[in-house]
Structure 1
């Protein structure tokens, strides 16, 4: 009996030791897997840091466009609304540009038609014993107007600050970029009127972001090559032309005035 009891105790101890070894092995495996997960995350983050994105973009295109419903409309997440907005812009361009219809005439004629239909319907409903039309109460909420005004004010102040920074002569590269952009806009303005220019901007807004989101890897790779080439050309221009021009500008008088 004593031998059987000892045999049972040794068997129980061996089982406990096996279970402990399995638990230790599991802990070691989990720690190694956690270490490997950390290494994978670190490698992914380093790879993301090495990938070139246009204009130094770090967030997805949806977040860059502000997120929410406006970004969904621009990126065609809601195809019915996006198609409706683009269709309305196309109809407006056809009316105002191709048919040479005027905005004030369109607003007045639409108002006349709507008021005439509602007026006749309201008076005819008493004779034909039907319910009159339900005309909804339209009012503009103050909160949305204040949010829009606040957003516009912030963006306008940023624009003024950027223009002031450029006019101060601190960044020659930014100055040349703005001058080139304004020159391109002046050429476009001379080729087409404001309605056509606004319609072209709307079409580009509804096509370029969604195409870029779809082919962003290829576009970013091409953009990286283009930016490298532009930097090389700018360095050559800076060395041969801009540095000579800046060296000829007298700075003594300006420094004395500042002192």
Structure 2
């Protein structure tokens, strides 16, 4: 691959309000996400709060307030709590199911390649990826990883959009290097005769 070609990052991210937040076109929305996630991380990671107890207590408080609000509204002829009718559309469920199907089928395909076809390259790729995830996870807990993910989501798309040409040049060089390494690894694997013995029935 010689050139990645300039793409519209906003369209690649879906072109909706989420893309506006990730690219900081909606400065207010991006700021709210950044500040709220920082407060959330600080409270539960540094402040020692228990996230399950915090959520349960707040839901308990919310349900109690809504109950007494509804009761008092009926007695005093006041408007009921402004709770919208929440309904997940069938289209949203189908889209989510299709996305999950793609990931599940990919996982099954990898498992088949490793267990049935004895694909050493797939095995090395999966083992190295899982080891890397385990290694990174040993330094951070799940909440901190989520917070890092939020920070990366609010920074990497924005920086790539600003410096796309320079980044694409570096990615082109990196792609050539990885392609060369992959070809050399395939050549080494082909030199191992035990990996190419025909399976006995």
Normalising by structure 2, report the TM-score: 0.75
Structure with bigger RCO (C-alpha 8 Å, 6+ apart): 2
Match of 2:143 in 1: 195
Match of 1:147 in 2: 95
Structure 2: stretches of 5+ with no match in the other structure: none
Whole-Å separation in 2 of the counterparts to 1:166 and 1:71: 37
Larger Rg: 1
Whole-Å separation in 1 of the counterparts to 2:57 and 2:127: 43
- Equivalent pair of 1:121/1:132 in contact (CA under 8 Å): no
Task: Write out the 4+ residue segments of structure 1 that deviate beyond 6 Å after TM superposition.
Answer: none
- Equivalent pair of 1:125/1:132 in contact (CA under 8 Å): yes
Name the stretch that deviates more: 145-154 or 58-67: 58-67
3-state SS in 1 of match to 2:200: helix
Match of 2:41 in 1: 93
| Cα deviation, residue 65, structure 1 | 3.0
| Cα deviation, residue 249, structure 1 | 3.2
Match of 2:200 in 1: 257
RMSD: 3.4
Whole-Å separation in 1 of the counterparts to 2:107 and 2:57: 38
Q: Which has the higher helix share?
A: 1
3-state SS in 2 of match to 1:206: helix
Q: How many residues align?
A: 199
Matches within 5 A, 1:1-259: 52-53=3-4, 59-122=7-70, 131-143=78-90, 144-165=92-113, 168-170=117-119, 172=121, 175-231=123-179, 238=185, 243=188, 246-250=190-194, 254-255=197-198, 257=200
